[in-house]
Amino acid sequence: MSIESVLTSAVQEEKVPFVVGMTGNSNGVTSTHAAGNATASMKVDADTVFRVFSMTKAVGGLAAAILVDRGELSLDTPVGDLMDNWNDLKVLEGFDGDTPTLRAPKTRATLRHLATHTSGLEYEFWNTDVPRYMELTGHPTILSGLKSSLHYPLTSDPGTRWGYGPSSDWLGQMVEAADGRRIDVFCQEEIFGPLGMTSTAFEPEGLQERLADVHIRGEDGKFAPMELAPPSLPEVYGMGHALYSTPNDYMRFLRMILNGGQLDGNRILSASGLETMLADQMNGLTFQTMVSCSPITADVVLPDDTSHSMIAALHNSDVPGKRSAGTQSWAGVCNTHYWVDPSKDLAAVIMTQSLPFVEPAFMETYDAFERAVYAAH
């Protein structure tokens, strides 16, 4: 099937409420296809604004990589050296009745651990001990935007295993502490401005007329609108979830990677800085299947040898008919997904606004889209 027919049929078959698929290379955008309506009165297109949620994490990783490139931070900088409140976090070992059992961590967390999700932090969607802890202690979710929400318990010692959680939010705070600018200002001045990402922002002001609706699949199998967005004007802009962006803008971010750290003459990272950012930084650990404990997401399963760079999951093997070894990819909870395949000089995004995350119907569409992209490449 062609890319266009994959996307059109996905909407017709209600696998997605609407969808944009875009591909690009180091020279520019190579294809754009869209199907369906982003709102009742607006067709979706490459300039539609999406809540990209965890696609924010790659931007946070780039922000940290910029400071590492400049020698202002190191991958081995201890988190607690810059932020003393990190040193208050304890490892949650279990519960004594309704009392959480906590102990001091055996290892010190570093910037590398935050960037690769090996810091010990996990979201309440992926570890059943965390929502229980939050309920018993009244701890706010990271999606509250409160500064106190950063202080999730650790669920393992830093550097010992993969665990998906608010590490990127702490990473953004490390950038703030080292640089002095607030993270939203840093990103605008160092990333969005230089890359021409004019529709990427931490607040939706000025973007609302292009903002897509979010849909959730009900028990009847049909999509229905729902309200979901990052917190507005939070105490802390979380680099795990805070951004709004468009397919056009995010492709510019990915094309910067394909162009060796620069785009249209604006250099974001040195060549060696880009190499560091894209390298496996997990120190021998690998991605672990993310088993859902929330109805908003299915399980996240990736190949056994998947590791992580400073910005994304790193695929270490070729997938026949699909991505190559060295490909970086990740996604946002409302099913906005990207990958960038440097060896093939190829980047792609496929975006909708739907829940559950990675439900089978969406993943069938993603697989068909990716196969059509490589068949046409």
Q: Is 119 a catalytic residue?
A: no
How far is Cα 375 from Cα 377, in angstroms, rounded to an integer? 6
Cβ(353)–Cβ(213) below 8 Å: yes
Closest CA to 340 of 363, 311, 366, 365: 311
Element (H, E) at 244: strand 244-245
State the first-to-last Cα distance of the chain, in angstroms, to the nearest integer: 13
Sheet holding 354-355, edge to edge: 223-226, 214-217, 354-355
Q: Which member of 57, 309, 329, 374 is catalytic?
A: 57
- Cα angle 337-253-319, degrees, rounded to a multiple of 5: 45
Q: Is 270 a catalytic residue?
A: no
308 SS3 class:
strand
How far is Cα 269 from Cα 84, in angstroms, rounded to an integer? 29
Structure tokens at 113: 């651990």
Q: Which member of 54, 245, 329, 354 is catalytic?
A: 54
CB-based burial, 129-145: b 16+ in 10 Å, e otherwise? bbbbbbeeeebbbbbeb
Q: Which member of 123, 164, 244, 374 is catalytic?
A: 164
Q: For strand 313-314 and strand 328-332, is the pairing parallel, antiparallel, or unpaired? A: antiparallel
Strand partners, 354: 215
How far is Cα 211 from Cα 78, in angstroms, rounded to an integer? 39
Q: Is 54 a catalytic residue?
A: yes
Question: For residue 356, is the peptide bond before it cis, meaning its omega torsion is within 30 degrees of 0?
Answer: yes
Active site residues: 54, 57, 164
